[in-house]
Amino acid sequence: MTTCQPNDEPQPAADLGAAASNTASAGAGSPLLAVHHLSAVFANETGGLYALADLSFEIYPQQFVCVLGPSGSGKSTLLRLLAGLLKPTQGDVCYEGEVIDQRLAAARRNVGFVFQKANLMPWRTVSENILLPLELQKVPRDLAQSKVAELIQLVGLRGFEKARPRELSGGMAQRVAIARALAHDPDLLLLDEPFGSLDALTRERMGAELLRIWQARQKTVVMVTHSIAEALFLADRVLVLTSRPGRLRLDLTVDLPRPRHEDMRYTPQFGGLARQIRSAIERIE
Amino acid sequence: MLKQRFFFLLISLGLALAVWWAVREFGYLPRFMLPSPLDVWQRFWTAFRDGSLLRHSLVTLSEVLAGLAAGASAAMLLGYSLAKSPALEKVLTPYIIASQSIPVVAIAPLLVIWFGPGWVSKVMICSLIVFFPVLINTVVGMRSAPAELRELMRSLQASRWQTFWLLEAPAGLPVFLGGLRIGATLSVIGAVVGEFVGADSGLGYLVNAARGIYDIPLVFVAVMVLILMAMALYGFVAWVESVAVKH
Ligand SMILES: Nc1ncnc2c1ncn2[C@@H]1O[C@H](COP(=O)(O)OP(=O)(O)OP(=O)(O)O)[C@@H](O)[C@H]1O
Ligand SMILES: [Mg+2]
C-alpha cells in the first residue's frame, strides 16, 4: 500500500495575491485528507477537459471546510475524488496517510456523501432510503429503525416516512439525502450543495443542525456551497476554486468566534472575510 | 372498477362469438371445417370428462414451465456476467445475435433427434426460445441503475452482493420482468413447435392428431387451451410486476 508524501512545496495556487494562506491546519496533528498535485481530466472531443489542475491541500480532523467557486470549477469533481469515487488523472488523495485506491480497506473509510442531486432510490420509501447505510452495515433492525425515526425528526419529515421519492418536493428530497448521509454516523461528511434547494429558513435551521452534529460528534466536514454568508457561518476554512481548470484560488481561515450568530453579519471582521472571498470569486469570472 | 372491467370482458367475448358465428353462417367454408361454438364446447366437455384434455394440458404446461425456468435462469446468469464484463460481452455478442437468426422451427427436429421425442427435447426448445428476450432484458435491466446511485453504493462501501440486491436488482426488475413476460408467451410457442415435430402427448400433439382425423372441434379446443395458458402466464408475470415494482 502506498503511503503519502507530505506536501513538500508551498501551495501552487494560481495567484497567491489573495491567498495569504494562513491555513487552519497549522499544527493540528496529521491530516485526515491530503491531496497532492491532484488533477482530473475528462475525455472529450477536443482531447481532454481539465476539471481540476494541480490541487494540493490538507484537511485536518474535525475541520469544517467550505468549498466555493463558480459553476463548473470542479467542486463536485473534487468531492468525488475525496470520496474515492473517481480516480485522479494525476496526483493522489490520501486518507489518514494512505493513498485511496481500489484496495484501501473499506471498513476504515466511513464517509457520508450528499450528492448535488438528491439521488434517492425511487423504489424505497423515505424511511427505507435513510435506512440504507445502516442496512449495508448490518445494524440490528430495531436499533436502525429508532435511528431512522430520530433522523426523520431531525430533518423535519415526520408524516412522510412512507412516502416515495416521487411524492417529495426538491427540498424534501434533499433533506432525506442529508438524513441518509448522517445515518451511519460517518467521520467524514462530504456535502455537495446540500442546502441548494431549501428555502432560506429551512436552510438556516439545517445549517445550525449540521453545526450541532459536527460539534457533538466530532466530524470532519467538506461542504460545497454557493453562499458566502453560509460558508462564513459554518466553516473553519474556506477554499475557493478557479474555473476550468479548477485551481486553488484562495485558502482562507475563518477565525470568527463560535457560536456564530446572525448579527455577526454586520461586524467588520465578517465583512472583511466576505469581501476577500467575494473578490477571489469575482476575479475568476 | 372491477365491475367495469368485467363488463368490457363480456363485451369483447360476445363480439368474438358473434364474429365466429357470422363467419360460419355467411363465410365460404363448408360447415364441417368451421365448427360452431356449441360444437367446440361439447367437444371440450367430452375431452375434459375422459381426462385426456387435462393430461395433455399438464404435459404441455410442465414443458412450458420447466423451459421457462431453465431458459430464464441461464439467461439471467449470462446476462449478469455480460452486464458486468464488457470484454465477455464483446466476445459473445456475435454468437448470441447469430443464434437468433436461426428459427426455432428449423432446429427443433435436430433437438428431437438428439434428446429423444420425450419431455427433455421440448424443455430444451422452450428454454432456447425463452433465452434471448430474457437475456437482453437482464443486461438492459442490470445497466438501468443510475450511475449516481452506483456512486452512492460505492461511497457506502457496499459489497458487490449488496450492490446487486439493493440496487441493481430492484432498479432492473421492471425491465427484467418485461423480458420474462415475453418469454412466458414464447415458451408456449416453443412447446407446441416441439410437440409438432415429434411427441406422443401434449396440446401440440393433440392439435396435430386431431387435425389428422379431421376432428376440427378438438383442434379448436386444444388451441384455446393454449391461448388460455399463454394468457395466464402473461397475467401472472404482470401480476408479480404490479406487486413487486413500487415506483
Ligand atoms: N463525468 C463527467 N464527464 C465529463 N466531464 C465532466 C464530468 N463531470 C464533470 N465534468 C466537467 O468537469 C467540470 C467540473 O464539473 P463539476 O461538476 O465538478 O463542477 P461544479 O464546480 O460542481 O459545478 P456546479 O457548481 O455547477 O455544480 C465541468 O466543466 C464539467 O463539464
Ligand atoms: Mg457541482
Minimum CA distance residue for ligand 1 atom 9: A77
What pLDDT, in 10s, does the model give residues A268-279? 988 999 898 888
Chain B nearest C-alpha distance from A265 (Å): 36
Cell 452482493 locates to B161
Task: Report helix, strand and coil shares of chain B as percent, to nearest 5.
Answer: 85, 0, 15
Chain B nearest C-alpha distance from A203 (Å): 23
In the chain, the amino acid numbered A243 is: S
The answer to whether residue A217 is domain-embedded is: no
Distance A164 CA to ligand 2 centre (A): 25
DSSP B216: H
Element (H, E) at A273: helix A268-284
From the list B194, B198, B238, the residue with the least C-alpha distance to B62 is B194
Residue A128 sits in which domain range? Answer: 118-185
Q: How many domains is chain A built from?
A: 1
For residue B170, name the pLDDT band (cuts at 50, 70, 90): very high
From the list B34, B223, B194, the residue with the least C-alpha distance to B109 is B194
The answer to whether residue A285 is domain-embedded is: no
Mean pLDDT for A87-113 is 75
Give the start-to-end residue ranges of the domains of chain B: 44-246
Contact B67, B127 (CB under 8 A): yes
Contacts of A29 (CB under 8 A, 6+ apart): A60, A61
| CA–CA dist A239, A251 (Å, integer) | 5
Q: What is the pLDDT of residue B82?
A: 92
Q: Which residue of B has its CA nearest to A190?
A: B155
Give percent of chain B above pLDDT 70. 99
Mean pLDDT for A118-142 is 93
Contact B134, B71 (CB under 8 A): yes
The answer to whether residue A37 is domain-embedded is: no
What pLDDT, in 10s, does the model give residues A105-122? 444 568 899 999 889 999
**Of the partner residues A121, A133, A184, the one whose CB lies closest to the CB of residue B149:** A121
What does pLDDT average to over chain B? 91
The answer to whether residue A139 is domain-embedded is: yes
For residue A134, name the pLDDT band (cuts at 50, 70, 90): very high
- Which top CATH class is B44-246? mainly alpha
Across the interface, whether the CB atoms of A83 and B148 are under 8 A apart is answered no
The answer to whether residue A162 is domain-embedded is: yes
pLDDT at residue A263 is higher than 60 = yes
